[in-house]
Amino acid sequence: MNQEALAYRSFIASFSSMGGKIGFSASCDAIAQSDMIIVLGGRVSCDNEAVYNAVVSASNNGAKVIYMHPLEDVLMDGIITQMVKYEAGSEEGVVAMLAKTLLDGCETSDAVQQFLDDLDEGYLCAESNVGDEEFELIFETAAVSNKKTLVVGLDLFNHKNSSNIAKICGVIDSVTTFSVVIASKYSDGNSVEMSDVSQKGALDPVSPLPEYNGTIVYQCYPNKQSNNNTLRGSAQFAIAARLNSGDLVTIDGHDGTKTFLVDETLKGTIALNVLDEESNCGYRFEKIKLMRVGS
């Protein structure tokens, strides 16, 4: 079993320790039938085709789709109704604030309520760059929706605090009317075979959120827009990295060379490092050193 699959299984174990359903409470068919979907922490257009197609189907049937990620995805254009753009690395804080939003009005254990009460909302919103009004809009959408699904993706599995993130997602699944789908490359959203999880988990306080400054890439898999020989960035990224479209580059710590391409569909200063399908991404945002070949 490779690193990505191990991270996935570990995430599920933590998720289920807080009451999250190991067999999952939603399949891809159920996603397609949802009238509200939150996609968090994954670039589903290249991570999991079955989940992506289910989200598209739901959107075509009028579902509200909220996409929470540091990067826009052109393949989600026309599908999403709310884009929530958070800072790379801040996923634990974002998930915690999402839980506080979705658990509002729900009956919880004393321990869970204490976790929610202890959240420093001002700090988490400021450091994640997600404002109160964005969570309020999510709450308002949920209030008028019936069949609700939270899709959590690959970005979360190798986060340094993935266990706590998974446990928070487990609380959302067990306490709210949201169904949670853990969308990896190794699952279609249906059940996964695991040994029974008997140990009861406990939520940890949210750690200080990290800062990602400098030259940052997002490790992702190819889709119909990209191949694994490319490093794709916005014009803004090209200026910051002093690159021109077509330059050959090496990435410190990575084998081989990449062709850098300016991608007009991208914004901001995070580039896409497109990997082959069998690569282990690890935590998908990485601060790197770039060298132009021949410079």
How do residues 243-260 score in pLDDT, each as one tens digit?
A: 999 999 998 888 888 899
Per-residue model confidence (pLDDT) at position 199: 66
DSSP for residue 186: T
Per-residue model confidence (pLDDT) at position 265: 87
Burial of 60 (0-12, 13-18, 19+ CB in 10 A): exposed
- pLDDT higher at 39 or 275: 39
Mean pLDDT, the chain, integer:
89
Question: Which amino acid is it at 145?
Answer: S
- Work out the average pLDDT over 186-190: 48
CB contact at 8 A, 55 and 38: no
Per-residue model confidence (pLDDT) at position 225: 58
**Backbone CA torsion sign across 193, 199, 203, 207:** negative
**Backbone CA torsion sign across 280, 283, 284, 290:** negative
- pLDDT higher at 270 or 229: 270
Sheet holding 230-233, edge to edge: 285-287, 216-220, 270-274, 230-233, 257-262, 248-251, 290-292
DSSP for residue 20: -
Domains of the chain: 3-182 (3.40.228.10), 216-292 (2.40.40.20)
DSSP 3-state of 180: strand
- pLDDT higher at 62 or 277: 62
Does the pLDDT of residue 180 top 50, yes or no?
A: yes
Per-residue model confidence (pLDDT) at position 188: 46
Residue 24: pLDDT band with limits 50, 70, 90 = very low
Q: Which two tokens stand for residue 101?
A: 């939003």
Q: What angle do CA 167, 52, 146 make, to 5 degrees?
A: 65
For 194-220, the pLDDT digits (tens) are: 445 556 889 999 999 998 888 899 988
For 101-157, the pLDDT digits (tens) are: 999 999 999 999 999 999 999 999 999 999 999 999 999 999 999 999 999 999 999
On the CB side of 30, how many CA atoms lie within 13 Å of its CA? 17
Query: Among 117, 91, 98, which residue's Cα sits nearest to residue 172?
Result: 98
Per-residue model confidence (pLDDT) at position 166: 97
Residue 93: pLDDT band with limits 50, 70, 90 = very high
Does the pLDDT of residue 279 top 80, yes or no?
A: no
- Work out the average pLDDT over 60-81: 95
Per-residue model confidence (pLDDT) at position 220: 86
For 12-21, the pLDDT digits (tens) are: 999 999 988 8
Residue 262: pLDDT band with limits 50, 70, 90 = very high
**Backbone CA torsion sign across 173, 177, 182, 187:** positive
Q: Which two tokens stand for residue 90?
A: 């801040």
DSSP 3-state of 200: coil
- Work out the average pLDDT over 263-275: 89
DSSP 3-state of 65: strand
Question: Which amino acid is it at 169?
Answer: C
Per-residue model confidence (pLDDT) at position 227: 63
Please report, for the chain, how many H helices and E strands are present, in that order: 10, 12
Q: Which two tokens stand for residue 230?
A: 């490319």
DSSP 3-state of 209: coil
